[in-house]
Structure 1
Amino acid sequence: MNVSRIALVTGANQGLGRALVEGLAAHMGPDDMVLLTGRDEQRVTDAAHEVASLPGTRSRVQGRVLDVTDTDAIADLADDLRQRYGGVDIVISNAVARVLPGESQAARADEFIDVSNTATHAMLRSFGPVLRPGGRFLVVASSLGTLGHLDPALHDLFDGASLDQVEYAVESWRGAVHHRTTAEAGWPLWLNVPSKVAQVAAVRAVAAERREHDLATGTLVASVCPGMVDTATSRPWFSDFSQAQSPAEAAGAVLDLVFADHVDPTHYGELVRFGKALDWYGGTPPVEQDRLITP
């Protein structure tokens, strides 16, 4: 099969991921292909068929089963796309584990970290090398991913860290959760904060190594905050959704980065929200939120 451009979205069965696939399929051409990935084969098949059938869809849409907690599966898919098509042009790492208020954060830590962090590291390691010149690699994070949201004692673990060092920090955090020593080390109880900081730090680590070459070839590697989105994952956490975006609305700002004619150097390697890079050192530790979370 001759394909001009390849786009891939993880966590794409529903919510923001599904909206991103719809937007990509509407913007890309008939010789392009969008890969909609998720863990459940039936849901992936159904979602891909539904997007392909939308009146606005212009490109080919294909479902691929991908469990992002399986790092070998990620590597195999990247290698398959390299061999079949010479690489990939757009990667949006979007998968997230759903945790409900009142659930034990410690009990859900492994799944949450595996989906949000270990998978992010694997995506960067496997798909970074097969991203073609002029491509886009975006990791969906949140505004909680800035360093200031962590206790200052933890900043050195992530600031200026390599990807190996970020991975080590994540595993140290995981160990502290299991040994119930998070408070002593300064880790917040709310999993989302260190997880998002680590995601952004991982992107920064990879971007630091690639920056000169990528900017010369119009390639973007960045993390992105889509803002508050009304999804099944976020709805249990908030009582007021009057300012929330629909998944389609939130996808718009992400797709603006994907389809921008030129890469803004101020976006490269940074956490971008609504077209603006957020201050890596901004934010304050979420003390109040911790009081609402079951340890």
Structure 2
Amino acid sequence: MTGANQGIGRAVVEGLADRLGPDDVIFLTGRHAERVAAATEEIGRKQVVGRVLDVTDAGAVAALADELKAEYGGVDLVVSNAVGPLVPERTQAEQVDEFLAVANGGTSAVLRSFGPVLRPGGRLIVVASSLGTLDHVAPAVRDRFDGTTLEQIEAAVEEYRSAVHAGTAAEQGWPDWINFPSKVAQVAAVRAVAAERRTADLADGTLIASVCPGLVDTRASRPWFDDFSQARTPVQAAEPMLDFVLQPTDPTTYGELVRDGKVLPWKPTERNDAH
């Protein structure tokens, strides 16, 4: 579990510790050693092992995947949840590099390194958002994310990042808020990897998908929303996610963005058809 020392990530780790067996090993990872150590100690479960991991370092992600493959023969569940800071009082250009490096670079690194070590029947889940559907980016840039490869999506993220710094993002059709192209790219990355693996994965019950936890009252969301009356706590958000990843694979959810067990349509036309 990446990004697991607080918020949703920590709640998922605690939920897994409750639901899995005493011999299962759950890795709680984050990039700050003190926070990882504190969270692991506070959870206080022998199954939970804290590890420092900076998902912006693709080499470190690959090394951990190789280590777990060598020690355990593979992994059964991977949850990519790491996200960088994003606050209203700083400009998009001041924040875009770190935010994309964590959210999108981290997602790509986890997909690329942990996909090959996922055991049959395993799960690889990326925590994303309902903002990650194609209707949250303008038609002018949608083709960067639809039906493309992981490498093409990474190139699109870099194109967006460069446009923000050049001050040309708006005229090129990119959204004003970093979260929109970032979340769309996360979901697109999952779809790209899933498209390549779909036949083999469905044959052995393996699941690759992205999930939307809904509005959750966390440190990251607090600066952006005024009304949290309908928001979930991290524990409340984790419950349906855990239900989803621990149940048998539903082929209709494979490669899709899922919220509370239901698929969120990827394209605006699919959204209209669903209604």
TM range (shorter): over 0.9
- The aligned counterpart of 2:90 is 103
- Tell me whether 1:20 sits opposite 2:7 in the alignment: no
Which of 103, 106, 113 does residue 126 from structure 1 map onto? 113
Q: Distance in 2 between matches of 1:118 and 1:277?
A: 24
Which of 232, 252, 258 does residue 266 from structure 1 map onto? 252
For residues 111-153 of structure 1, give each alpha carbon's deviation from its aligned partner in whole angstroms, at most 9, with x where no partner exists: 0000000111111000000011111110000000001110001
For residues 148-184 of structure 1, give each alpha carbon's deviation from its aligned partner in whole angstroms, at most 9, with x where no partner exists: 1100011111110011111111111111111111011
Q: Distance in 2 between matches of 1:177 and 1:128?
A: 31
- Tell me whether 1:249 sits opposite 2:236 in the alignment: yes
- The aligned counterpart of 2:69 is 82
Q: CA deviation at 1:258?
A: 1.4
| Secondary structure of the structure 2 residue equivalent to 1:178 | helix
| Secondary structure of the structure 1 residue equivalent to 2:50 | strand
Task: State how many pairs are aligned.
Answer: 269
For residues 7-46 of structure 1, give each alpha carbon's deviation from its aligned partner in whole angstroms, at most 9, with x where no partner exists: xx10011100000000011111011010000011111111
For residues 25-68 of structure 1, give each alpha carbon's deviation from its aligned partner in whole angstroms, at most 9, with x where no partner exists: 11110110100000111111111121125xxxxx6110000011
Which of 152, 161, 168 does residue 148 from structure 2 map onto? 161
Structure 1, unaligned stretches of length 5 or more?
Answer: 1-8, 54-58, 284-295
- The aligned counterpart of 2:177 is 190
- Give the conservation status (yes or no) of the 8 Å contact 1:226–1:250: yes
- The aligned counterpart of 1:288 is none
- Tell me whether 1:33 sits opposite 2:20 in the alignment: no
RMSD: 1.0
For residues 209-256 of structure 1, give each alpha carbon's deviation from its aligned partner in whole angstroms, at most 9, with x where no partner exists: 111111111111000000000001101111110000000000011101
| Secondary structure of the structure 1 residue equivalent to 2:170 | helix
* Structure 1 residue ranges (4+ consecutive) displaced by more than 3 angstroms after TM superposition: none
Structure 2, unaligned stretches of length 5 or more?
Answer: 270-275
- The aligned counterpart of 1:46 is 38
- The aligned counterpart of 1:223 is 210
Amino acid at match of 1:268: Y
- The aligned counterpart of 2:47 is 60
Q: Distance in 2 between matches of 1:187 and 1:13?
A: 32
Q: Distance in 1 between matches of 2:85 and 2:96?
A: 11
- Tell me whether 1:277 sits opposite 2:266 in the alignment: no
| Secondary structure of the structure 2 residue equivalent to 1:183 | coil
Q: CA deviation at 1:106?
A: 1.1
Q: CA deviation at 1:102?
A: 2.1
Percent identity between matched residues is: 63
Q: CA deviation at 1:268?
A: 0.3
Query: TM-score, with normalisation over the residues of structure 2?
Result: 0.96
Amino acid at match of 1:48: T
Query: If each structure's helix is expressed as a fraction of its own residues, which one has the higher value?
Result: 2
Q: CA deviation at 1:110?
A: 0.2
- The aligned counterpart of 1:92 is 79
Amino acid at match of 2:13: V
- Give the conservation status (yes or no) of the 8 Å contact 1:135–1:218: yes
Q: CA deviation at 1:98?
A: 1.7
